[in-house]
Amino acid sequence: MISKLSIALISFVFLPVLAAEPQVLDAHVHHNGDPTFLKALIKRLDPFNGMAFVLVKPKHLAATKPIIDAHPNRLVGFGDIDLDDPEAVKRIDEFHAAGFRGIGELSRPLKNFDDPKYSPIYARAEQYGMIALFHTGIVNRTTPDIPEDVSVDRMRVLLLDGIARRYPKLTIIGAHLGNPEYANAAEIARWNPNLYFDLTGSTLIKKQEDYTFFKSVFWWSSVASPHTPASGASAFEKIVFGSDIFDGEIEEFDRSLDRYRKMLNACGVSKEAQANILSGTMWRILKRSSK
Ligand SMILES: [Zn+2]
């Protein structure tokens, strides 16, 4: 007879990624291609037994895969594909074959996010049980002198509703809570069990004097009504933690964590719900989709 202890040991040996729940899971880290950045990130995550979804461009896949493979309890690879790349589906196949668990950050599309042109991409990611991280809302313009074919309107948050409904097995994270369309973001998350949002970007800076504002956005905790899905969870659990580190700026991890905690405390979100927001929700989705 196999004892519970041996099952635990077998799981530990064969599934190191699933060994212990991290205290913090950062669902939004851009890899700048520099291996020393990943070293610094791992070091920053260590005190939290932390984990990060690392968004890797196709050109950095070969060099990054061995680093991710060597740190399965710290780094989870996401394929940072371009929706308009004619080879996008093939790239997803390559990332999946390399053990990557998601795609994104999907951003700056030439068509609306829910355009049928992108259906094969979402269908393939769903087939692989991947998580898709979408940019939503306002986006930066770093080279104002150079013309660019980018529009915030193609990345409006309500476009995720149709995608979430069409691909129920695709877990979706919308970055930035639709900035500034927060109420729209929360409402579509309320009815779509496969849709979550992070609060990265300028939102928690903009709202720092008014964090209780988010109680009006995530309003349905413990509301019993046929007009909202039955759930014992806090409405705030539609949020997941992210830092949106880019250009290797690791300090953003601490700043983002601090802002999340201040907002969640100001809104009176329970410790249990905060643990799910900071890691538990995405951790369980990772475990479920690795079976
Ligand atoms: Zn973004």
**Ligand 1 center to 135 CA (angstroms):** 4
pLDDT for position 207: 97
**Ligand 1 center to 46 CA (angstroms):** 25
**Ligand 1 center to 259 CA (angstroms):** 17
pLDDT for position 6: 53
The reply to whether 16 falls in a domain is no
The answer to whether residues 212 and 250 touch, using CB atoms and an 8 Å cutoff, is: no
DSSP conformation letters of 112-154: -TT-GGGHHHHHHHHHTT-EEEEE-S----S-TTS-----GGG
**Ligand 1 center to 227 CA (angstroms):** 31
d(CA 191, CA 228): 7
Ligand 1 is a single-atom ion; what residues have CB below 5 A from it? Answer: 135, 175
User: How much is the average pLDDT of 102-129?
Assistant: 98
Q: Which run of H or of E encompasses 171?
A: strand 171-175
Burial 223-261 (b: 16+ CB within 10 A, else e): eeeeeeeeeeebbbbbbbbbbbbeebeeebbeebbebbe
The answer to whether residues 73 and 51 touch, using CB atoms and an 8 Å cutoff, is: yes
pLDDT for position 18: 54
**Ligand 1 center to 267 CA (angstroms):** 25
**Residue of 101, 165, 173 lying closest to 136 (CA atoms):** 173
Domain membership of residue 94 as a residue range: 21-289
The reply to whether 83 falls in a domain is yes
d(CA 234, CA 223): 10
- Comparing 100-109, 230-239, 264-273, the range with the smallest average pLDDT is 230-239
The answer to whether residues 95 and 106 touch, using CB atoms and an 8 Å cutoff, is: no
The reply to whether 147 falls in a domain is yes
**How many residues would you count in the chain?**
291
More confident residue, 111 or 11: 111
pLDDT for position 279: 98
The reply to whether 1 falls in a domain is no
Report the number of distinct structural domains present in the chain. 1
**Ligand 1 center to 203 CA (angstroms):** 12
pLDDT band at 228 (very low <50, low <70, confident <90, very high): confident
Query: Residue 252 corresponds to which tokens in the numbers above?
Result: 């953003």
The reply to whether 15 falls in a domain is no
**Ligand 1 center to 108 CA (angstroms):** 9
The reply to whether 4 falls in a domain is no
**Ligand 1 center to 176 CA (angstroms):** 7
The reply to whether 13 falls in a domain is no
The CATH number of the domain holding residue 269 is 3.20.20.140
The answer to whether residues 27 and 242 touch, using CB atoms and an 8 Å cutoff, is: yes
**Ligand 1 center to 215 CA (angstroms):** 23
Residue type for position 73: N
The reply to whether 28 falls in a domain is yes
**Ligand 1 center to 287 CA (angstroms):** 25
